[in-house]
Amino acid sequence: MSTDIAHEEHHHGPPKGIGRWLFSTNHKDIGTMYLVFALTMLFVGGASAMYIRAELFMPGVQFMEPDFYNNMVTNHALIMVFAVVMPAAAGLANWMIPMMIGAPDMALPRLNNLSFWLLPAAAVMLILSTVVPFLPGGGSAINTGWTLYPPLSIQTGMAMDFAIFTVHILGVSSILASINIVVTILNMRAPGMTLFKMPMFCWAWLFTGLLLIIIAPVLAGGVTMLLFDRHFGTSFFDAAGGGDPVLFQHLFWFFGHPEVYVLLLPSIGVLAMIIPTFARKPLFGYNSLVGGMAILFTLGLVAWAHHQYTVGMAAGPTTWFMIITILISIPVGLMLLNFMMTMWRGAMTFETPMLFAVAIVLMFSFAGVTGIMLAVVPADLEYHDSMFVVAHFHYALIPGALMGLLAAAFYWLPKWTGNMYDERLGKIFFWWNVISFNITFFPQHFYGLAGMPRRIVDYNPAFADLNMISSLGAFAYGLSHLLFLYIVIKTVRGGVKAGNKPWEGAQIGTPGLEWDLSSPPPFHSFTTPPVVK
Amino acid sequence: MRDKTLQNGLEQTHEKNKKTTRLLLLIVVGMFGFGFAMVPLYRLVCNVAGIGISGAANSGRIIDKSGHPRSIDKERLVTIQFDSLINEGLQWEFHPLVKEMKVHPGKPYEVSYYAKNNSGKKVVAQAIPGITPWQATSYFHKTECFCFTQQTLDSGEEKDMPLKFIIDPDLPKDIKVVTLSYTFMDTDRSSLRKKRELNLPSDNKHKG
């Protein structure tokens, strides 16, 4: 190891100045940047959500014209999906996976740098798409929602072109990140770290990465066709020229449905780390959880058209998609069983990450139940495009994705910073966050079933009271994240020293290589591969 | 000695990484292509499996393939409603000459739609049919339709366009009303693009 002294010196500590971040090829620095980016965008996407709830606080049009409302709905979805949850999950992967499997760094460090730095460019593009309609000659605002369905998306002004390029850039970024993570997991494991010894978070990301590699190019193709239809006179989706707008829906949802699992699986991986730690028991049914994810991966790819029951598909394919969708509840139910059986008779303690984990298992099951309701064709024809659907997917994605990421942040903050977070503030944040989340979204089930449509700026005054409750809950929910920001900043700045292994049960059932390193870990971990027994 | 094995190991991993990356990139390119392959595949699958939606995928060319003379069901009367729509950017007048008629299944009928070009220039347009409820689609046999081909109207030109159809006697008994709707669309999309750039409000004209 002492052959090249210059080399050694170069690699000891982080480089100084902004170059450290701009040109970084270090998985920890890039992971940090991903997480900071995601947290920043959480507030941008959150601001658009706050606008939506302020607008819906009372019936009638309060602030801006309806197109702007729909633009905010679009932005909220695009930002939360592509610029918050996915980058945050990629940030966790960057930080943790090399340490978990005993690798010196990611397999493709320069690619890693590229896939991160594409993100801010995409974010700027997306913000421009909102600004452009206000400029003279800027055309109309994006009013399609994140699904970008034609023919509306073909008629929208040039803001749509910005949105399409945003999707392109984000797609490239996530494909590159996924390739990197999959290659790292497959090739960079330390001797003795077999696939079936890996921490579950790595398995979750292996499936996530493969899914993204399969689906993201299809979305890229779909929006490329949209771009061609808009500018180059093609008729992929234009009925006048022999195209079919429903084709876009198929392309979009071929991506869009597995995307739900892309958002969900990393958090499932996180839960599979947190629950054994705080139950002080090895994960119940390691192999069955891997199998469950594999089944979810497969079924998820062939269930997409359950988003399109109302477009007039014939009975045959509709029935197929209904059956597959209902079948998906089986592997998901198995996963929840894995978690519950891990907790069963464990010596549980309820630190903030564990509180979140338990709440997620509960609330995500709830989304599963409403999901079954929506999967059934005759029922869905009634619920389609109502606020009930909004309630369903927020119960799926906030506990299933976002809260999982928050739990991960609490779980690994001591490892990243070397300092313990403030447990008292953490618990306050948990209760504030979870209660206000439920106040926001639970009433939406009711006024959705009663007939309030989604994506419309105004509503029947009959829904006024429940909407007001929703909005008040949403403001509290939005504000709670400021406390999270404060906790993170406080932890980064100092606190009780965490030690190598802040959680007593952290290595139960897994090799737990990351906990053998110091907290914070050295800039370059594992220059020689550790051996896993 | 140890350094050397380490070096070898690193090189091996490097090679393996390259190989896996290439494989994954191949999947990415393949799936991008798959997206485009969906365009013909989608049409093919729908036609072969007969799961086409409201006939939009094949311009509504629904032809009676059986060849058998149909017995006319004198007992039964089905209400057929005719509807017309004009897509954004097309300055045509377009409406059916009869709005509604009662027909006996199995008997051929002829109706006409009226179209006039108000745009001041020659326009080539295509009518896209839609049938509600969709379950009736395969029982609505058109033997002649202006929607089978593109229609060209000079500036100011008007014409009556014929539509001949037979309702299949096998039409499910619970269907009592069938609505046939046509949307005319400009095949030259530049007018649409101009509208988008000018940020005009949409002006879908609906004429019953």
pLDDT at B53: 46
- Nearest by CB to residue A183, choosing from B21, B49, B193, is B21
| Residue A214: closest CA among B8, B27, B70, B10 | B27
Contacts of A78 (CB under 8 A, 6+ apart): A126, A146, A163, A166, A167
Provide DSSP, A260-278: HHHHHHHHHHHHHHHHHHH
What is the structure's pLDDT at B206?
40
Cβ atoms within 10 Å of B75's Cβ, excluding its own: 7
DSSP secondary structure letters along A114-172: HHHHHHHHHHHHHHHHHHGGGSTT--PPP-S-TT--TTHHHHS-THHHHHHHHHHHHHH
Q: Are the beta carbons of A213 and B24 separated by less than 8 Å? A: yes
Looking at residues A25-31, what average pLDDT do you find? 94
Asked if A225's CB is within 8 angstroms of B36's CB, the reply is yes
Q: What does the mean pLDDT of chain A come to?
A: 92
Tell the residue number behind the tokens 């106040």, with chain if given. Answer: A439
How far apart are the CA of A140 and the nearest CA of chain B, in angstroms? 6
What is the C-alpha separation between B84 and B186, in angstroms, rounded?
A: 15
Q: What confidence tens digit (pLDDT) does each residue in A56-77 have?
A: 999 999 888 899 999 999 999 9
What pLDDT, on the 0 to 100 scale, is given for residue A278?
95
Q: How far is B112 from chain A (nearest CA, A)?
A: 21
pLDDT of A151: 86
pLDDT in the model for residue A13 = 73
ipTM: 0.85
The Cα of B206 is separated from the nearest Cα of chain A by a number of Å equal to: 17
Give the pLDDT band of residue A242 (cuts 50, 70, 90): confident
Task: Say how far residue A10 (Cα) sits from the centre of its chain.
Answer: 36
Indicate the pLDDT class of residue B132, thresholds 50, 70 and 90.
confident
Report residue A324's pLDDT band, with 50, 70 and 90 as the boundaries. very high
pLDDT surpassing 50 at residue A363: yes
Q: What is the pLDDT of residue A201?
A: 96
With beta carbons under 8 A apart, name residues in chain B contacting A188: 13, 17
Structure tokens at A86: 């996915």
- Of A386 and A9, which is predicted with more confidence? A386
In the structure, what pLDDT confidence band is assigned to residue A11 with cuts at 50, 70 and 90?
Answer: low
Average pLDDT, rounded, for chain B:
79
Mutation target to probe the A interface, by most A beta carbons within 10 A, among B1, B5, B31, B88 is B31
Residue of A259, A328, A317 lying closest to A293 (CA atoms): A328
Distance from CA of B189 to the nearest CA of A (A): 7
pLDDT at A4 over 70: no
pLDDT at position B204: 41
Using the predicted structure, report yes or no on whether residue B199 has a pLDDT greater than 60.
no
Determine the distance in angstroms separating the CA of B172 from the nearest CA of chain A, rounded to an integer.
15
pTM here is 0.83
Per-residue pLDDT band for B188 (boundaries 50, 70, 90) equals confident
Asked whether the predicted pLDDT for residue A369 surpasses 80, the reply is: yes
Quote the CA–CA distance of A430 and A403 in Å, as a whole number. 10
A151-201 pLDDT, tens digit each: 899 888 899 999 999 999 999 999 999 999 999 999 999 988 999 999 999
Q: Does domain B56-207 have CATH number 2.60.370.10?
A: yes
Query: Are B128 and A225 in contact (CB < 8 Å)?
Result: no
Q: What pLDDT band is residue A88 in, cutting at 50, 70 and 90?
A: very high
Determine the pLDDT at residue A9: 44
Judged by average pLDDT, the poorest of A41-45, A247-251, A483-487, B107-111 is: B107-111
- Other residues' Cβ atoms within 10 Å of the Cβ of residue A94: 29
- Under DSSP, the state recorded for A422 is -
Per residue in A480-498, pLDDT (tens digit) is: 999 999 999 999 998 899 8
3-state helix, strand, coil in chain B (%, to 5): 35, 35, 35
* pLDDT tens, position by position, B143-177: 888 888 888 888 888 889 989 888 888 888 888 89
Query: What DSSP character marks residue A82?
Result: I
Q: Residue B151: what pLDDT?
A: 87
Facing residue for B196 by CB, picked from A139, A225, A233: A139
Cβ contact A241–B187 (<8 Å): yes
Residue B70: predicted pLDDT:
58
pLDDT of residue B64: 47
pLDDT of res. A139:
85
Q: What is the distance between the terminal CA atoms of chain A, rounded to a whole angstrom? A: 24
Residue-level pLDDT at A171: 94
Q: How many CB pairs under 8 A join A and B?
A: 137
Question: Does the pLDDT of residue B57 top 50, yes or no?
Answer: no
From CA A89, how far away is CA A270, in angstroms rounded?
10
CA distance A437 to A109: 38
pLDDT of residue A12: 62
Residue given tokens 């090189």 in the structure block: B11
Measured between alpha carbons, how far apart are the two ends of chain B, in Å?
A: 89
Q: Report the alpha-carbon distance of residue A327 to residue A324 in Å, rounded.
A: 5
- As a whole number of angstroms, the distance between CA A389 and CA B89 comes to 34
Per the DSSP assignment, residues forming a β-bridge with B129 are B182
Q: In chain B, what residues touch A137 (CB-CB under 8 Å)?
A: 197, 199
When the candidates are 1.10.287.10, 3.40.640.10, 2.40.10.10, 1.20.210.10, the CATH number that belongs to A16-516 is: 1.20.210.10
Residue A8 has pLDDT above 70, yes or no: no
Over residues A427-469, the pLDDT tens digits come to 999 999 999 999 999 999 999 999 999 999 999 999 999 999 9
Instruction: Give pLDDT tens digits for B44-54.
Output: 877 766 555 44
Lowest mean pLDDT across A104-108, A205-209, A252-256, B199-203: B199-203
Q: Give the DSSP letter string of B72-106.
A: P-TT--EEEEEEEEE-TT--EEEEES-SEEEE-TT
Query: Is the bond leading into B133 cis (omega within 30 degrees of zero)?
Result: yes
Determine contact, residues B115/B153, Cβ cutoff 8 Å: yes
Contact across the interface for B28 and A222, Cβ inside 8 Å = no
d(CA A163, CA A171): 12
Q: What residues of B are in contact with residue A235 (Cβ under 8 Å)?
A: 189
Task: Give the per-residue pLDDT at A16.
Answer: 82
**Mean pLDDT of the A293-310 span:** 94
Task: Tell the burial category of A64 from Cβ atoms under 10 Å away from its Cβ (0-12, 13-18, 19+).
Answer: middle
Which pLDDT score is estimated for B62?
45
Contact predicate A411/A274, CB 8 Å:
yes
The domain spans of chain A are: 16-516
Quote the pLDDT of residue B50: 58
Q: Which residue on chain A is closest to B189 by alpha carbon? A: A233
Q: For residue A158, which residues of chain B lie inside 8 Å, CB to CB?
A: 197
- Tell me the backbone φ, ψ of residue A489, rounded to 5 degrees: -60, -45
Confidence class of residue A6 from pLDDT cuts 50, 70 and 90? very low
CA–CA min distance A12, chain B (Å): 18
